[in-house]
Structure 1
Amino acid sequence: MELLTDARARHFVPDKYVFPPEKRPALLPDSDSPGVAFPVIDIHPATLSDDRRRRLVVAEIIQAGMEFGFLQVVNHGVGEDVVRGFREAAAGLFALPAEEKLPYCSDDMSRHFRLATSTAFHRNQTCYWRDYFRIRCYPVTDEVTRHWPSKPPTFGISLAEYSTAVHELSQTLLRLIAEGLGLGANFFAGDLSAGVTQMNVNYYPPCPDPTVTLGLFPHCDRHLLTVLSQGDVAGLQARHDGRWLLVPAVPGALVINFGHQMEIVTNGLLASVEHRVVTNTTAARLSVATLVTPKMECRIGPAPEMVDEATNPAKYREFIFSEFMEAYAAADASRERVLESFKIHH
């Protein structure tokens, strides 16, 4: 397995990364989308402790979920030093000599920690301009941490701090979402969010020609909620009204997007929106996506409070989360194909 991070400097995009014209990214300048902006929401504890301001924040989160499926949060409680510490450790791992990374390279999706390139989906097709490692990161137990790499030396400590802080943030967000939907405050606190948390750390090297390739294919996340650190280099795009909009890199912010399970549980109210990654010519981009996941045996379906048989009947059947994961893999991560397996046609 040859990683992009180990390849010699590229002055052109190799053929295996070149997409056919109809699949190449068409970047939209900001002027094409006047007045469209992904919400940036302040969730400082002082804000949330004031009843009136808390209700406003909750309403903003629900509105963002309905309109975009994406939002950014600031004053979120994950310390800047914690974010920076793990991002630096992750960058250090990608920078290790090829021979030190080789034992971790694998396409075996069952491994607790693996390093790979492109994607585990769309095999034998055009490659994506991306190296990544996928790791089980929370809860921080001996069973999880024994699989973590020992280099760089700061990796384990910084990952434990970051994943614990992000877990606390995700639980705060899920409580706020439950409030906004009229569900019990702890609605999401059980099996719906208690699976082993996975993390994808993505590295997108500078690309000689971003117009002919993609960093990552259009997809929706199969989990409940994603917390993303994209640093100061933008590249994430989300689909909105049939167009791709760039999610800006807001200093200190973390990007939140809803996965398929959130859309299903809310009976389609909070959207799981397609997103992709584009490349650039000048700067490497590192993103850290933490995926809040149900337990594999969790039974999932629209919450009764989100269903009205007369005006808003259930759009999806009940299923076990492990069944969804199998369907997602079989559908090659296609939004339409995977959801079709669970839709109720009235």
Structure 2
Amino acid sequence: MKEDKDSRWFELERVPKDYIFSKEYRPQNVDSPACNSIPVIDLAITTKPVNIGHSQPAVEEIFKASQDFGFFQVINHGIPEKKVTDAMDVLKEFFDMQSKETATGGIPRKRGYIYTSSTDFMKDGVYLWRENIKHPCHPLEECVHLWPDQPTRYQEVIAAYLVEIQKLSSRILDMICEGLGLKQGYFKDTSEVQLLSSNFYPPCPDPTLTLGILPHYDPSLITLLYQGGSTGLQVMKDGQWVNVGAIPNAFVVNIGNQLEIISNRKLKSVKHRVVTSANETRRSIATFVNPSPDCIIEPAKILVNELEPSVYTASQYKDYVQRNKAFGDYTTAIQSALQSES
């Protein structure tokens, strides 16, 4: 560590041993080219929903991407660039704060959000190379006052951002419904943007030894991620880790476990992780669109028939979360929901 008393935990010349993962988890291809086959979908080519069977190009592209990759990016999504920039700026301010409270990870959970420093999450005795803040978002009007009050504009800026995210997530879910053959608004009363999780990944002396986030599946319906044009996100494709391209002002969308279940495995929830960089700082905002806690999660009735029987057992969402609440255990959540096949 540098001798400067104001140095932060990541200002190091080498990676400390308690941040070095075993070879099983250690990334080998942090500098590999981005996977150009992961679709980038222009939402400007879609205006209003159309009848099922007469899908517009963006609907067809989203559905195919959800089947083949479980991941896609959207551009021309309608969220004002300033609201996104303001959100990224205020989160940068939050992570840059040098107050004792944030620097030590001592923010009490009772205040409605959780800040975790690099030493607050451990996997097999190893720390992740990141800082994180997460908090609930629904109902928005009941959550806002529980969020950080420093920086002073945090609550106002993030609330405005989440209003836009809710609109975009509803739009994408409607398009997925159309692709699946479900009625428009199928998720209208049973899904909300319920959780925000923002990560700060500082430069790392040796990215081949560390991880920002462990390999996992998302337990959500869908997840919307803004990564600010920075690299680091990797997805598992054909048994290999590939980098997701960093496109300015684009949102990464991925299919979560719940939507894979509801689609009766027509759509794909895919394992992903975040690797670090020697030179680049990565900041991201992930928003998780989840079912209502009391919802029964099972394949949609219209998607189940004699030729395509249900391959998942029904489960109440809150029970599912309780069973798989530890971060990292989501990697086995889909398998635990599958019925045994004879």
- TM-score higher than 0.5 here? yes
Looking at structure 2, the residues matched to 323 and 297 of structure 1 have their Cα atoms a distance apart, in angstroms, of 9
Q: How far 1:340 moved relative to its partner?
A: 3.1
Say if 1:264 and 1:150 are closer, same or farther in 2 by CA, change over 3 A: same
Q: Which residue of 1 aligns with 2:325?
A: 329
Looking at structure 2, the residues matched to 173 and 203 of structure 1 have their Cα atoms a distance apart, in angstroms, of 27
Q: Which residue of 1 aligns with 2:39?
A: 39
Task: Within 5 Å, give how 1:30-109 maps onto structure 2.
Answer: 36-44=36-44, 47-49=46-48, 55-101=56-102, 105=106
Q: Which residue of 2 aligns with 1:17?
A: 19
Q: For the Cα contact (< 8 Å) 1:222–1:260, is it kept in 2?
A: yes
Q: For the Cα contact (< 8 Å) 2:231–2:243, is it kept in 1?
A: yes
Q: Which residue of 2 aligns with 1:112?
A: 112
Q: Which residue of 2 aligns with 1:186?
A: 185
Q: How far 1:25 moved relative to its partner?
A: 0.3
Q: How far 1:105 moved relative to its partner?
A: 3.5
1:261-304 deviations in whole A, cap 9, x for unaligned? 01000011111100000100112100100001111111110011
Looking at structure 2, the residues matched to 298 and 105 of structure 1 have their Cα atoms a distance apart, in angstroms, of 35
TM-score, structure 2 as length reference: 0.90
Letter in 2 for 1:171: S
Task: Within 5 Å, give how 1:255-294 maps onto structure 2.
Answer: 255-294=252-291
User: In structure 1, the residue corresponding to 2:285 is in which secondary structure?
Assistant: strand
Q: How far 1:120 moved relative to its partner?
A: 7.3
Looking at structure 2, the residues matched to 342 and 227 of structure 1 have their Cα atoms a distance apart, in angstroms, of 23
Looking at structure 1, the residues matched to 327 and 112 of structure 2 have their Cα atoms a distance apart, in angstroms, of 23
1:291-324 deviations in whole A, cap 9, x for unaligned? 0111111111001122222x22111111100111
1:236-274 deviations in whole A, cap 9, x for unaligned? 001111011111111111000011001000011111100
Q: Which residue of 1 aligns with 2:125?
A: 125
Q: How far 1:330 moved relative to its partner?
A: 5.8
Looking at structure 2, the residues matched to 331 and 198 of structure 1 have their Cα atoms a distance apart, in angstroms, of 14
Say if 1:18 and 1:30 are closer, same or farther in 2 by CA, change over 3 A: closer
1:74-123 deviations in whole A, cap 9, x for unaligned? 11111110000010000000111131426864696x87301003597755
Q: 1:246 aligns with which of 243, 246, 266?
A: 243
Q: For the Cα contact (< 8 Å) 1:118–1:216, is it kept in 2?
A: no
Looking at structure 2, the residues matched to 334 and 178 of structure 1 have their Cα atoms a distance apart, in angstroms, of 24
Task: Within 5 Å, give how 1:92-241 maps onto structure 2.
Answer: 92-101=93-102, 105=106, 112-118=112-118, 123-141=123-141, 143-191=142-190, 193-194=191-192, 197-241=194-238
TM-score, structure 1 as length reference: 0.89
1:140-196 deviations in whole A, cap 9, x for unaligned? 21x2012111111221111011000000000000111101110010111122x14x6
Letter in 2 for 1:317: T
Letter in 1 for 2:301: P
Q: How far 1:139 moved relative to its partner?
A: 3.3
Q: Percent identity?
A: 35
User: Unpaired segments of 5 or more residues in structure 1?
Assistant: none
Say if 1:304 and 1:107 are closer, same or farther in 2 by CA, change over 3 A: farther
User: Unpaired segments of 5 or more residues in structure 2?
Assistant: 1-6
Q: For the Cα contact (< 8 Å) 1:122–1:332, is it kept in 2?
A: no
Q: 2:316 aligns with which of 302, 309, 320?
A: 320
Report the number of matched residues.
334
Matched, 1:27 2:25: no
Q: Which residue of 2 aligns with 1:341?
A: 336
Say if 1:61 and 1:120 are closer, same or farther in 2 by CA, change over 3 A: farther
